[in-house]
Amino acid sequence: MHTAKAIITIASIASFASADIVRTGEFESTMFEGFQGLNMGTFESSPVTIFDGLAVVQNTSGSWLHTTEAWSFTNRTAAYEGKDLLGNASGGVEYSFNTSINAFGGFFATIANVADGQVRFFNNDTLVGTDALSAPVGGVWTWNGWQSDTAFNRVIVDSNYGFSGGFILHDAVRATATIPAPGAFALIGMGGVVITRRRR
């Protein structure tokens, strides 16, 4: 009985992803960004080079991005790993890659009192697919990862926080031009089960 309920739940969660975008578990990649040492100062409104020059990140509304050790709004959340995390108080966060990729993921959290968000994947200006972002209220770092047979080179992450659309935090973000090999982690992720951790 419990198994049947679990299967139904997993199937319903997985169905949120559009046809070309499939959830995946945590994967290893040489393209990794932990937002350490970016010399952004307190706030940065210009595109910031990340992934060792392979991408830039910017605010979709022309507002600023922020790197910090921890951030408080309705709750306080410290960096998932390392010293710094990336966040913003309004608008979305856009990752633009110099090359096509087939998988993208990272750890995300919200410091707002509204959970979750949306993610859109583009090949230049063509929408490849969309999916929901899991970011529970309370600042719990949550793995979100996706893969696609259709390559993409832009990813936009928006929150569900209606006042300004911000307050999603990003850390340990990664991307790869190859689809991650199937495995226990990947199969769990594709079923829609999220991996959570709060930094102690």
User: Using H for helix, E for strand and C for coil, what is the string for the chain?
Assistant: CHHHHHHHHHHHHHCCCCCCCEECCCCCCCEEECCCCCCCCCCECCCEEEHHHCEEEEECCCCCEEEECEEECCCEEECCCCCCEEECCECCEEEEEEEEEEEEEEEEEECCCCCCEEEEEEECCEEEEEEEECCCCCCCEEEEEEEEEEEEEEEEEEECCCCCECCEEEEEEEEECCCCCCCHHHHHHHCCCCCEECCC
pLDDT at 96: 98
pLDDT at 18: 62
CATH number, domain 2-197, options 1.20.120, 2.60.40, 2.60.120, 1.10.1740: 2.60.120
pLDDT at 24: 96
Q: Which residues of the chain have pLDDT under 50?
A: 1-16, 184-200
pLDDT at 31: 96
Domain map of the chain by residue range? 2-197
pLDDT at 17: 60
pLDDT at 188: 39
pLDDT at 65: 93
pLDDT at 19: 59
